[in-house]
């Protein structure tokens, strides 16, 4: 049932003829209350889908921004259970915006795949992205998610060649996440021109919408990506707003800064509409 | 006279998915998967190529200084009053530890693969020094990631790496120790996929690293097996080695896996004591999880967050362990004990005073368990302990622990 929320959202956006703006946040960053406020404010700020990162102590594919965000969240006491609680509270108020959890395998494995999948579905989670669980290792997790109607969303990268593509596509649902640069999050800039061709290739191979992320920091870049992809994902640039606010000592308007950045990005994505309805 | 080794049932591990039973695997981001698969193929080809093996053997002979001696520690034997204690002296290798065995094997492979830039992680700095050494020898640029805390603790090795032309990058993310250095090396690899070879220092990480590093370190056990048969006319009763990631231990153990009469004993670092929670004993005090590309025993909290390891020995200060050890632990083929900081320090002093060998703090942990074992086995027993590194690097740490000013 929950997978449907992702499908419905992408179908509605396709009907509007525009791409989705996907906002990423680290659950619990910089504190539990502010983080909940950010999550609940994102749909009104224009986020069509939300990726909620559950923090991990050793996030090996993240650049400095999300590493620091994860550390702030862990320090504030965030856990995988805490992340599920945040989503459940959000879901009580918003039944339409898809929520994708994103993170690393160990906390999920630690909880047990079946228990995690059941709890995630009950909390209103629609999909899961696990950075360090490639297709070769993900069957047990996919079984548990399938049984609970939670989408397993796989990452495809510039190094995913034609030989690997079928393995990456197998058991993927909801959408495909194209990592547009070989690198960690938020460091290299995505080249929108170089993204168009792989997006088409992935769309053709999967029949699923293709989201592009890792390296979109500005509204201009988000708009460029939104012209060729089905969704533009922004993470580090939003997390940086938290760091910036904390640095400026303005703890009270962290939420406003993040949401205003999200609005600007959402506006850019919405105005980039190029595809026909 | 020497019985041929039994067919080795244990050599079937890992399977083609890199599994040692339930452990191992390839838990890496998609960006790295094609690279890890390519490395697996390249290593399989090299392993089967006599020219590659001959080149490695030649460098080991004239550059590393292999074979390393097997030495009867007579005064320690007398001191404990039990089994005869033999040291496999890999501390005499060029660069002062067993790490060169692996660094040499991997850099020859990297060059075969056409890679032009080497990265590595290091804790105590022994693997960093070994990697910097082979990079200097073969003229490849080398970047070593080292936790900022370890850079501070191990200044002589940082300088050594610099002298060898390597760039040491202090890692401040996370807690600034070995696990964070490994995260940072992974981040470098994911960013520089075309030209970079990641030279992992222990028998851990995504497949094929655990099997490949084990193979390179198995030169230790292969030599020791022949040497002890020559010296004693029979196999030893027990092998003892310290365990951080576990590369020196698996290198000693592996050629003896089929010799079921030989007890295999790994010694983990118990830091301030297992009960204090301040230790690095992943098998004794951890449980299975996934980190750094493999499924294995890890120190972790209730939420699955990795807990910092604690040990006086920077080389054992890692919250995980190579997956083959997790497998040998669960299958019962090997036994894993632990030794505290204080026990290791006492063994360190004893070895220096009785044998004229200053051991690294890592094998001092192994030695700390040898006494009890020697007494249990009695005078007819034979023990081979891996003296995997020398203690020059540790004199400042030991002086501080003993309250002495240098």
Q: For residues A125 and A247, which has the higher predicted lDDT (pLDDT)?
A: A125
**How close B262 gets to chain A, by Cα (Å)?**
35
> What sign results for the dihedral spanned by CA atoms A147, A151, A155, A156?
positive
**pLDDT tens profile B251-301:** 999 999 999 999 999 999 999 999 999 999 999 999 999 999 999 999 999
Q: Is the pLDDT of residue A176 over 70?
A: yes
Task: Give alpha helix (H) positions in B139-243.
Answer: 148-153, 155-163, 178-191, 209-232
Q: Is the pLDDT of residue B381 over 70?
A: yes
Three-class SS of residue A274?
coil
Domains held by chain A: number: 1
| A32 lies within 8 A of chain B by CB | no
Note whether A258 and A39 are within 8 A (CB).
no
Q: Is residue A10 part of a domain?
A: yes
Is residue B190 very low, low, confident or very high in pLDDT (cuts 50, 70, 90)? very high
The verdict on ipTM greater than 0.90 is yes
Structural domain harbouring A118: 3-271
**pLDDT tens profile A37-55:** 999 999 999 999 999 999 9
Q: Is the pLDDT of residue B4 over 50?
A: no
Is residue A182 very low, low, confident or very high in pLDDT (cuts 50, 70, 90)? confident
- Determine, for residues B187 and A168 on separate chains, whether the beta-carbon distance falls below 8 Å: no
Q: Is the pLDDT of residue B48 over 80?
A: yes
Mean pLDDT within B122-136: 95
Determine whether A194 is exposed, middle or buried from the number of CB atoms within 10 Å of its CB (0-12, 13-18, 19+): exposed
Q: Is the pLDDT of residue B325 over 70?
A: yes
Report helix angle A254-270 to A219-228, nearest 10: 40
Is residue A259 very low, low, confident or very high in pLDDT (cuts 50, 70, 90)? very high
DSSP H or E run through B88: strand B84-88
Catalytic residue among A33, A62, A136, A252: A62
The verdict on whether A51 is a catalytic residue reads yes
pLDDT value of position A94: 98
Q: Both ends of chain A: CA-CA distance in Å?
A: 26
Residue B404's contacts (CB-CB under 8 Å, 6 or more residues apart) are none
Q: Is residue A277 part of a domain?
A: no
Tell me how far apart the alpha carbons of residues B231 and B234 are, in angstroms, rounded to a whole number.
Answer: 8
| B299 lies within 8 A of chain A by CB | no
Q: For residues B66 and B396, which has the higher predicted lDDT (pLDDT)?
A: B66
pLDDT value of position A189: 81
Q: Is residue A54 part of a domain?
A: yes
**How close B287 gets to chain A, by Cα (Å)?**
9
Q: Is residue A119 part of a domain?
A: yes
Mean pLDDT within A4-33: 97
Q: Is the pLDDT of residue A9 over 80?
A: yes
- Determine, for residues B29 and A155 on separate chains, whether the beta-carbon distance falls below 8 Å: yes
| A85 lies within 8 A of chain B by CB | no
Tell me how far apart the alpha carbons of residues A18 and A15 are, in angstroms, rounded to a whole number.
Answer: 8
Note whether A134 and A164 are within 8 A (CB).
no
pLDDT value of position B65: 98
Q: Is residue A91 part of a domain?
A: yes
Is residue A274 very low, low, confident or very high in pLDDT (cuts 50, 70, 90)? low
The verdict on whether A40 is a catalytic residue reads no
Q: Is the pLDDT of residue A1 over 60?
A: no
Is residue B8 very low, low, confident or very high in pLDDT (cuts 50, 70, 90)? low
Tokens 């070769």 belong to A136
Query: In sequence order, what are the beta bridge partners of B238?
Result: B263, B383
Q: Is residue A73 part of a domain?
A: yes
- Determine, for residues B190 and A168 on separate chains, whether the beta-carbon distance falls below 8 Å: no
Mean pLDDT within B204-215: 98
| A111 lies within 8 A of chain B by CB | yes
Mean pLDDT within B111-126: 96
Catalytic residue among A40, A51, A189, A256: A51
Q: Is the pLDDT of residue B21 over 70?
A: yes
Residues 212-231 of A with CB under 8 A from B: none
Q: Residues of chain B with pLDDT > 70: what percent?
A: 98
| A189 lies within 8 A of chain B by CB | no
Tell me how far apart the alpha carbons of residues A36 and A28 are, in angstroms, rounded to a whole number.
Answer: 8
pLDDT value of position A276: 43
Q: Residues of chain B with pLDDT > 90: what percent?
A: 92
Residues 13-42 of B with CB under 8 A from A: 17, 25-35
pLDDT value of position B124: 83
CA distances B190 to A188, B53, B55, Å, are 12, 29, 30
| A166 lies within 8 A of chain B by CB | no
Q: Is the pLDDT of residue A73 over 90?
A: yes
Is residue B149 very low, low, confident or very high in pLDDT (cuts 50, 70, 90)? confident
Q: Is the pLDDT of residue B11 over 80?
A: no
Residue of B nearest to A82 (CA): B303
| A41 lies within 8 A of chain B by CB | no
Q: Is the pLDDT of residue B3 over 80?
A: no
Residues 118-147 of A with CB under 8 A from B: 131-134, 136-137
Mean pLDDT score across all residues of chain A: 94
**pLDDT tens profile A90-142:** 999 999 999 999 999 999 999 999 999 999 999 999 999 999 999 999 999 99
Mean pLDDT within B384-397: 95
Note whether A190 and A221 are within 8 A (CB).
yes
Tell me how far apart the alpha carbons of residues A38 and A215 are, in angstroms, rounded to a whole number.
Answer: 22
Task: Give alpha helix (H) positions in chain A.
Answer: 3-16, 32-45, 64-75, 80-93, 105-111, 113-123, 139-147, 165-169, 192-206, 219-228, 236-247, 254-270
Q: Is residue A276 part of a domain?
A: no
Which residue in B30, B174, B306 is closest to A168 by CB distance? B30
- Chains A and B form CB pairs within 8 A to the count of 116
Alpha-carbon dihedral B378, B380, B386, B389, rounded to 10 degrees: 70
Residues of chain B with Cβ-Cβ distance to A111 below 8 Å are 304
Tell me how far apart the alpha carbons of residues B383 and B82 are, in angstroms, rounded to a whole number.
Answer: 10
CATH number at residue A20: 3.20.20.70
Q: Is residue A205 part of a domain?
A: yes
């Amino acid at each position: 049932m929950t997978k449907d929320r992702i499908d419905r959202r992408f179908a509605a956006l396709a009907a509007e003829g525009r791409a989705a703006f996907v906002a990423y946040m680290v659950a619990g960053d910089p504190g539990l209350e502010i983080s909940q406020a950010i999550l609940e404010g994102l749909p009104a700020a224009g986020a069509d889908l939300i990726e909620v990162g559950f923090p991990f102590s050793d996030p090996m594919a993240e650049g400095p921004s999300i590493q620091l965000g994860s550390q702030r969240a862990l320090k504030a006491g965030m856990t995988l259970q805490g992340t599920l609680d945040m989503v459940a509270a959000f879901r009580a108020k918003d039944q339409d915006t898809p929520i994708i959890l994103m993170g690393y395998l160990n906390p999920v494995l630690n909880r047990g795949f079946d228990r995690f999948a059941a709890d995630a579905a009950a909390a209103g989670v629609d999909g899961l992205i696990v950075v360090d669980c490639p297709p070769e290792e993900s069957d047990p997790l996919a079984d548990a998610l399938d049984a609970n109607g939670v989408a397993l969303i796989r990452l495809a990268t510039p190094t995913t060649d034609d030989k690997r593509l079928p393995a990456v596509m197998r058991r993927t649902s909801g959408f495909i996440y194209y990592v547009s640069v070989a690198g960690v999050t938020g460091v290299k800039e995505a080249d929108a021109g170089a993204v168009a061709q792989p997006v088409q290739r992935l769309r053709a191979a999967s029949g699923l919408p293709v989201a592009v992320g890792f390296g979109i920091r500005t509204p201009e870049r988000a708009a460029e990506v939104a012209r060729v992809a089905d969704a533009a994902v922004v993470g580090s640039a939003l997390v940086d707003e938290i760091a910036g606010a904390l640095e400026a000592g303005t703890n009270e308007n962290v939420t406003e800064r993040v949401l205003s950045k999200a609005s600007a990005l959402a506006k850019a994505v919405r105005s980039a509409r190029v595809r026909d309805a | 006279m020497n019985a041929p080794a039994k067919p080795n049932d244990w050599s079937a591990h890992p399977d083609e998915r890199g599994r040692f039973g339930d452990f191992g695997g390839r838990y890496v981001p998609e960006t790295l998967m094609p690279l890890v698969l390519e490395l697996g193929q390249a290593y399989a080809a090299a392993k089967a190529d006599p020219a590659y093996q001959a080149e490695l053997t030649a460098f080991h002979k004239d550059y590393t200084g292999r074979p390393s001696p097997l030495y009867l520690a007579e005064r320690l034997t007398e001191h404990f009053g039990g089994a005869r204690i033999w040291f496999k002296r890999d501390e005499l290798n060029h660069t002062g530890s067993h790490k060169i065995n692996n660094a040499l094997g991997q850099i020859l492979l990297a060059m075969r693969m056409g890679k032009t830039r080497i990265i590595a992680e290091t804790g105590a700095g022994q693997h960093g020094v070994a990697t910097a050494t082979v990079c200097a020898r073969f003229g490849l640029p080398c970047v070593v990631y080292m936790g900022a805390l370890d850079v501070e603790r191990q200044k002589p090795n940082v300088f050594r790496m610099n002298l060898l032309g390597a760039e040491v990058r202090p890692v401040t993310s996370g807690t600034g120790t070995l696990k964070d250095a490994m995260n940072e090396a992974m981040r470098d690899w994911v960013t520089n996929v075309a030209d970079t070879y990641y030279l992992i220092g222990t028998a851990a990480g995504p497949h094929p690293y655990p099997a490949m590093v084990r193979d390179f370190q198995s030169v230790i056990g292969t030599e020791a097996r022949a040497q002890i048969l020559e010296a004693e006319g029979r196999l030893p009763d027990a092998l003892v080695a310290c365990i951080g990631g576990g590369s020196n231990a698996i290198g000693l153990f592996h050629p003896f896996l089929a010799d079921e009469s030989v007890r295999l004993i790994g010694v983990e670092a118990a830091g301030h004591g297992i009960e204090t929670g301040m230790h690095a004993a992943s098998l004794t005090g951890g449980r299975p999880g996934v980190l750094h590309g493999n499924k294995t025993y890890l120190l972790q909290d209730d939420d699955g967050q990795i807990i910092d390891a604690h040990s006086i020995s920077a080389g054992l200060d890692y919250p995980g362990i190579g997956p083959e050890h997790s497998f040998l632990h669960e299958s019962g083929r090997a036994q894993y004990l632990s030794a505290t900081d204080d026990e290791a320090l006492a063994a360190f002093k004893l070895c220096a005073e009785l044998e004229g060998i200053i051991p690294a703090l890592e094998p001092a942990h192994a030695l700390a368990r040898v006494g009890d074992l020697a007494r249990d086995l009695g005078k007819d027993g034979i023990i081979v302990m891996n003296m995997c590194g020398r203690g020059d690097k540790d004199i400042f740490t030991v002086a501080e622990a003993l309250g002495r000013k240098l």
